[in-house]
Amino acid sequence: MAVDQNLKIELGKQGIFVTTIEELYNWGRRSSVWPMQFGLACCAIEMIATTMARYDLARFGAEVFRPSPRQADLMIVSGTVTKKMAPQVVRLYNQMAEPRYVIAMGACAISGGPFKQGYNVLKGIDRYIPVDVHIPGCPPRPEALIQAFMTLQKKIDGQPLTGEGRPRHLDAEAQGEFPVPEQGEHDLEPTSNKGVWPVPITIR
């Protein structure tokens, strides 16, 4: 239940702070999103630049990159996901504790990019795990990653704690583990997780 904004401001002038549990809870969550420390290709260099003094991702509460998936809230898939690496990325995502979010950074991570018609690159990590924010670019500028981060914060802020659209850790029914693809004789098996990524139909 949201508090009327005008009333909130009026009360604030009187020295009374009014909030809801949901607002407070989400404020805490969005202000300390800790990304996981792993990079896959050149996009990772931009990700590192984003965390350094000039762009300073720490302003958004993401100052610590955690080297363990158990302590991370956000997976930034920064770079080309090869078919050899894809099972490990999905496994790392499975090992992260809820609530967890994914930013797919750069052309390769969202679609395969320039390697889309090749044989060894996964055509988008969203084939296997749910992605919250996609950023195009090759590689995206640090500003684009900050934009993605702010978009994610807005998403976290807007998540109700009950009912439809609540975060997965408050939803007992939600799917927690995503199947790790097997490396088959010719390709990954299965080639995508149909529950996460419905095969698009081309309309001609």
Partner 1 sequence: MKTVEEIKAAIEAAVPGAGVEFVSNPSASAQHSLRIAPQSAVAVAKFLRDDADLAFDFLSNVTGVDWPDKEIAEKVKVMRWVTKTVDGPDGQKVDQPVEETVEETRKRIESGCLEVVYHLYSVGKKHGPLVLRMRTVNRTDQVDLPSLTPVWRSAELQEREVFDLYGVVFGGHPDLRRLLMWDGFKDHPMRRDYVEPDDFEYEPTPHDEVLKRAQERENREQRTEGPRDRGLAAG
118 binds partner 1 (CB under 8 A): yes
191 binds partner 1 (CB under 8 A): yes
Q: Single out the residue of 10, 63, 143, 187 in contact with partner 1 (rule: CB under 8 A).
A: 187
Q: For residues 94 and 191, which CB has a smaller minimum distance to partner 1 in the complex?
A: 191
* Residue 100, phi then psi, degrees to nearest 5: -135, 145
Q: For residues 97 and 174, which CB has a smaller minimum distance to partner 1 in the complex?
A: 174
User: What six digits make up the tokens of 193?
Assistant: 């997780």
Q: Is 39 within 8 Å of 78 (Cβ atoms)?
A: yes
**What DSSP character marks residue 199?**
P
Q: Is 41 within 8 Å of 79 (Cβ atoms)?
A: yes
Pattern 123-142, partner 1, x by CB under 8 A: x-------------------
Q: Single out the residue of 130, 155, 192, 196 in contact with partner 1 (rule: CB under 8 A).
A: 192
In the sheet where 74-78 sits, what is the strand order? 74-78, 101-105, 133-135
Site for partner 1 in 72-111 (CB under 8 A): 83-84
What are the Cα distances from residue 146, in Å, to 98, 103, 105, 106? Answer: 22, 11, 11, 13
Q: How far is the CB of 179 from partner 1 (least distance, A)?
A: 16
State how far the Cα of 31 lies from the Cα of 11, in Å rounded to an integer: 24
Provide the 3-class DSSP secondary structure of residue 135: strand
Q: For residues 1 and 203, which CB has a smaller minimum distance to partner 1 in the complex?
A: 203
Q: For residues 50 and 80, which CB has a smaller minimum distance to partner 1 in the complex?
A: 80
Q: Is 44 within 8 Å of 106 (Cβ atoms)?
A: no
175 binds partner 1 (CB under 8 A): no
Stretch that binds partner 1, among 1-9, 33-41, 45-53, 177-185 (CB under 8 A): 177-185
State how far the Cα of 22 lies from the Cα of 65, in Å rounded to an integer: 26
Q: Judged by CB under 8 A, how many residues of this single chain contact partner 1?
A: 24
Contact set with partner 1 (CB under 8 A): 83-84, 112, 116-120, 123, 183-187, 191-192, 194, 198-204
